């Protein structure tokens, strides 16, 4: 397996430093993965305690090995990130100083062939981030009606040829249910016009993204998780989110904008107590990786980073 390189690590350390430096603090890594960001944050802040969440049991096992040197400063939870309030309650933690989200499929999940996330290698059509629960991609392909398949491919994959691919899937599964990725990749390739196949990356990329999002409920989970994380932040606490596709980034942008907006009715000359902004944006739009980082770590090519700080609300 290739060496795991955390995306935008230096920038993340810089953004969290004001909330964590020089004092006891608690940070939630809501998608700990292989523990690269977590390891660096724990090393940079000797008084930091970290709560590590991941829905993938294999990721938790590997990150536990990596972070073992930090001892009891790390607590692990097998949980999806929208379960953050329950995890904190179970640990008797009322508020935190930082929350980190590194969204999307991890390098480990792509590298584990039998998980079926990659269209580049033949594998069972699983795509579950937590392989212990929930429907597989094969079940989606073999049971969803054509209208639902079109919706998923269009909404989650932004696939222009969603109707054509969905109808081909339904026709093909009548002959034989889908089980492995190679057959699906060939079907997609044959369904997309030749001129399109020559540009815009692999023609299966958008369909595989759409299936993965559906199988794992990623966008619905994210819509619940970001507000839950913001509620958990203490004033002065910071949140950093790394997204890797526009659908995720749009959700984060909208929630941040809502929390950073005054809730005082327009036209009033003063801010009503308890109605001011709850968040201060720390990034101008979404920050991207520079070419040097992309050359060092190709996964950074699609990253969009947003960060914000919880602000004190005046009492009503």
Share of the chain above pLDDT 70, in %: 94
pLDDT tens, position by position, 103-143 = 987 665 666 666 777 888 899 999 999 988 889 999 999 99
Q: Mean pLDDT in the chain?
A: 92
Give the CATH number for residue 95: 3.40.50.150
| Mean pLDDT (whole number) for 99-103 | 97
147 and 207 fall within a common domain:
yes
- Using the predicted structure, report yes or no on whether residue 64 has a pLDDT greater than 50: yes
> DSSP code of 74?
E
Strand-strand pairing, 304-310 and 279-281: antiparallel
Residue 157 belongs to some domain of the structure:
yes
Residue 180 belongs to some domain of the structure:
yes
pLDDT grade for 276, boundaries at 50, 70 and 90: confident
* pTM (two decimals): 0.91
CA 12 to CA 20: how far, in whole Å? 12
Please identify which residue in the block is written with the tokens 């972070």.
67
207 and 233 fall within a common domain:
no
242 and 170 fall within a common domain:
no
**Which residues, listed in sequence order, are joined to residue 305 by a DSSP beta bridge?**
242, 287
CA 314 to CA 272: how far, in whole Å? 9
Tell me if 278 sits within 8 A of 205, measured CB to CB. no
Residue 315 belongs to some domain of the structure:
no
122 and 212 fall within a common domain:
yes
> Binding-site residues, please?
35-37, 54, 81, 102, 109
Q: Which of 168, 195, 216 is the last residue of a domain?
A: 216
192 and 234 fall within a common domain:
no
Residue 205 belongs to some domain of the structure:
yes
For residue 285, what are its two tokens? 């739009």
Strand-strand pairing, 304-310 and 233-243: antiparallel
27 and 55 fall within a common domain:
yes
- Using the predicted structure, report yes or no on whether residue 288 has a pLDDT greater than 90: yes
**Least confident range of 15-29, 71-85, 255-269:** 255-269
Contacts of 91 (CB under 8 A, 6+ apart): 51, 75, 77
Q: What angle do CA 77, 212, 131 make, to 5 degrees?
A: 45
pLDDT tens, position by position, 189-247 = 999 988 777 776 788 999 999 999 999 999 999 999 999 999 999 999 999 999 999 99
> Binding-site residues for S-adenosyl-L-methionine, please?
35-37, 54, 81, 102, 109
211 and 238 fall within a common domain:
no
226 and 254 fall within a common domain:
yes
Domain that holds residue 229: 9-102+218-310
How many C-beta atoms lie closer than 10 Å to residue 234's C-beta? 16
- Using the predicted structure, report yes or no on whether residue 274 has a pLDDT greater than 50: yes
| Mean pLDDT (whole number) for 171-177 | 97
pLDDT grade for 177, boundaries at 50, 70 and 90: very high
- Using the predicted structure, report yes or no on whether residue 1 has a pLDDT greater than 50: no
Residue 245 belongs to some domain of the structure:
yes
- Using the predicted structure, report yes or no on whether residue 4 has a pLDDT greater than 60: yes
92 and 222 fall within a common domain:
yes
Residue 107 belongs to some domain of the structure:
no
Q: Which of 160, 184, 216 is the last residue of a domain?
A: 216
Number of domains in the chain: 2
- C-alpha distance from residue 234 to each of 26, 171, 188 (Å): 10, 53, 48
Give the CATH number for residue 131: 1.10.150.170
């Amino acid at each position: 397996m290739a060496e795991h390189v955390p995306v935008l690590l230096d920038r993340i350390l810089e953004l969290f430093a004001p909330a964590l430096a020089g004092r006891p603090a608690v940070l939630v890594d809501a998608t700990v993965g292989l523990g690269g960001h977590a390891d660096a944050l724990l090393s940079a802040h000797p008084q930091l305690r970290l709560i590590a969440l991941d829905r993938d049991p294999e990721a938790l096992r590997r990150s536990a090995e990596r972070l073992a040197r930090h001892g009891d400063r790390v607590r692990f939870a097998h949980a999806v990130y929208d379960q953050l309030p329950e995890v904190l309650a179970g640990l008797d933690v009322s508020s935190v100083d930082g929350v980190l989200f590194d969204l999307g499929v991890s390098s480990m999940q792509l590298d584990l062939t039998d998980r079926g996330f990659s269209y580049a290698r033949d594998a069972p059509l699983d795509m579950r981030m937590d392989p212990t629960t929930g429907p597989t991609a094969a079940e989606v392909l073999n049971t969803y009606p054509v209208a639902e398949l079109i919706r998923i491919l269009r909404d989650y994959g932004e696939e222009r040829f969603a109707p054509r691919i969905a109808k081909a899937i339904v026709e093909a599964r009548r002959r034989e249910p889908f089980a492995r990725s190679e057959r699906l990749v060939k079907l997609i390739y044959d369904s997309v016009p030749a001129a399109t196949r020559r540009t815009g990356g692999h023609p299966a990329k958008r369909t595989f993204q759409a299936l993965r999002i559906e199988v794992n409920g990623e966008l619905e989970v994210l819509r619940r998780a970001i507000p839950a994380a913001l509620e958990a932040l203490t004033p002065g606490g910071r949140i950093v989110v790394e997204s890797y596709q526009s659908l995720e980034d749009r959700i984060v942008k909208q929630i941040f904008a809502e929390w950073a907006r005054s809730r005082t009715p327009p036209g009033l000359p003063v801010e009503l107590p308890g109605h001011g902004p709850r968040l201060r944006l720390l990034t101008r739009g979404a920050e991207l990786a520079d070419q040097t980082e992309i050359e060092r770590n190709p996964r950074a090519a699609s990253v969009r980073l947003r960060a914000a700080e919880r602000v004190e609300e005046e009492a009503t």
